[in-house]
Amino acid sequence: MGLLKHAAIAGALAASVGARGADWELALDLRAVSSDGRESFLENGQGKLRFDGEHEGIQLGRLRAALDQPLGETFAAHLEVSAWDGDDKNPLDLTEAFLEWRPYPRSGFRSRVRLGAFYPPMSLESRARGWETPYTITPSAISSWIGEEIRTVGLEGQVDWLGTRLGHAFDLQFTAALFGWNDPAGTMIAAHGFGLHDRQTTLFGRVGAPQTYPELAKKELFHEIDDEPGYYVGAQVRWRDRVILNALHYDNRADPAAEAPDIRDFAWYTEFDAAALRIESGNGWTFLLQALDGHTAIDPFEPLTWTFDSQSLLVAKRFGAHMIAARADAFAVEFEDDPAAWGSEDGEAWALAYSYDQGGPWRFALEWLRVDSDVPARLGLGQSPLASESKIEFSARYAISGSL
């Protein structure tokens, strides 16, 4: 009863201070696309792009709604709902949903606890709302893969030492998380390798169209298969607000022999290290280096292992509301047991983008992207393994926000 009373008082206090309403955002991002991409991985092809040669013209980039609801003084609930394509499993679905506890900083330390489904803190590129990149339309191969296969469904704790607020030049951050429901992570990298796309897999959705072959995995990624939690630990060093170095070690600790017949998938034992360095200058330059190195394995009848790695370099220059960005990506997947077999790949990507964002409701962006890749699995589709795909994409995004 005492607890109930406290809750009632807290609730009454919360209501009396006012300003407890939720903050919301709504954004519609439409695209005009010209693409010569091979049949997309989203259509069960081996093309690297989201919009292939059959998906040109006006396309839905993303319809996004976000809600931020304070719960009492230091708790808040965050919801991210998106629609990506007309033929998604769910027309509207969650990409993130979590409760956050943000106690007041004390003596230079700030802590955060998140419970729910969210991205691990590893991308210094996806810094805009909705885990989008502000530099280009299409994120790096690394961020594309994270958006496709990785989500923390669990509990994360983070501690920041706010040195710069105490007169020092550095801030430090440490993160640790325990999670489940990410055992299929790795399925997609083995099936089609890296893609270059801005589509984030939703929590209850799948990666693109249903499987052509019913015996293959359902491409649903957020499931618990072996009842073993995974973990990640991360650290970040910030020099003032100019330089950020981030490192993360992720291990889903999956039992590669465990199976989930309902989604026709295994528990993919996936472990990776990711590092990112972002340098910003006072006159609008950004340099962003990212690297990812990991492996994934299943053990259906014998152990099968894929190693993967990717590197990315982005240079951007902002001129007031205008920004130009150039990025180069390299990516590779190697099927350990037979590097010549399907399941390995090697590729590079280049992107050039211009964007206009004056802080108002509209954001416009124009991007040229080219991906060259050598994917032996294309032989199985009667294609040549080597492909050079490119697209030009224009994005017009209209976003509004307010408070309830």
Which range, of 1-9, 99-107, 213-221, 370-378, touches other proteins by CB under 8 A? 99-107
The answer to whether the CB of 220 falls within 8 A of the CB of 184 is yes
Nearer to other proteins by Cβ, of 148 and 357: the residue is 357
**Under rule CB under 8 A, residue 15 binds other proteins:** no
**Under rule CB under 8 A, residue 403 binds other proteins:** yes
Which range, of 87-95, 107-115, 202-210, 333-341, touches other proteins by CB under 8 A? 107-115
**Under rule CB under 8 A, residue 347 binds other proteins:** no
Short-list 147, 176, 175, 192, CA closest to 308: 192
**Under rule CB under 8 A, residue 242 binds other proteins:** yes
| Shortest separation between residue 242's beta carbon and other proteins, angstroms | 6
Task: Name which position in 12, 169, 216, 379 contacts other proteins (CB under 8 A).
Answer: 169
The answer to whether the CB of 347 falls within 8 A of the CB of 376 is no
Short-list 274, 250, 319, 27, CA closest to 140: 274
**Under rule CB under 8 A, residue 2 binds other proteins:** no
Short-list 75, 67, 306, 354, CA closest to 192: 306
Binding residues for other proteins, total number by CB under 8 A:
39
| Shortest separation between residue 124's beta carbon and other proteins, angstroms | 9
Task: Name which position in 28, 36, 63, 70 contacts other proteins (CB under 8 A).
Answer: 70
Q: In sequence order, what E strands does 205-343 have?
A: 230-239, 243-251, 259-260, 265-266, 269-280, 285-298, 304-319, 322-335
Which range, of 239-247, 248-256, 269-277, 329-337, touches other proteins by CB under 8 A? 239-247
Nearer to other proteins by Cβ, of 242 and 388: the residue is 242
What are the angstrom distances between the C-alpha of 64 and each of 24, 70, 320?
11, 20, 26
The answer to whether the CB of 272 falls within 8 A of the CB of 250 is yes
Question: x/- string (CB under 8 A) for other proteins, residues 359-388?
Answer: x---x-------------------------
| Shortest separation between residue 241's beta carbon and other proteins, angstroms | 5
Which range, of 185-193, 208-216, 240-248, 325-333, touches other proteins by CB under 8 A? 240-248
Residue 47 sits at the vertex; the CA angle it makes with 41 and 50, to the nearest 5 degrees, is: 65
Query: Cα–Cα distance between 174 and 403 in angstroms, integer?
Result: 32
Residue 404 CB burial class (10 angstroms; 0-12, 13-18, ≥19): exposed
Which range, of 104-112, 249-257, 258-266, 331-339, touches other proteins by CB under 8 A? 104-112
Number of helices followed by number of strands (H, E) in the chain: 3, 18
Nearer to other proteins by Cβ, of 164 and 390: the residue is 164
Which range, of 14-22, 251-259, 287-295, 297-305, touches other proteins by CB under 8 A? 14-22
Q: What is residue 349's three-state secondary structure?
A: strand
Which range, of 13-21, 54-62, 77-85, 291-299, touches other proteins by CB under 8 A? 13-21
Task: Name which position in 129, 249, 253, 317 contacts other proteins (CB under 8 A).
Answer: 129
| Shortest separation between residue 153's beta carbon and other proteins, angstroms | 21
**Under rule CB under 8 A, residue 4 binds other proteins:** no
**Under rule CB under 8 A, residue 127 binds other proteins:** yes
Residue 367 CB burial class (10 angstroms; 0-12, 13-18, ≥19): buried
Alpha helices in 31-99 (DSSP H): none
**Under rule CB under 8 A, residue 6 binds other proteins:** no
Tokens of 200: 């984030």
Half-sphere exposure of 90 (CA within 13 A, CB side): 13
Query: Cα–Cα distance between 267 and 222 in angstroms, integer?
Result: 11
Q: In sequence order, what E strands does 336-385 have?
A: 345-357, 362-374
Contact residues toward other proteins (CB under 8 A) are: 17-21, 23, 70, 73-74, 102, 104-108, 110, 127-129, 134, 162, 165-166, 169, 240-242, 280, 282, 318, 320, 357-359, 363, 399, 401-403
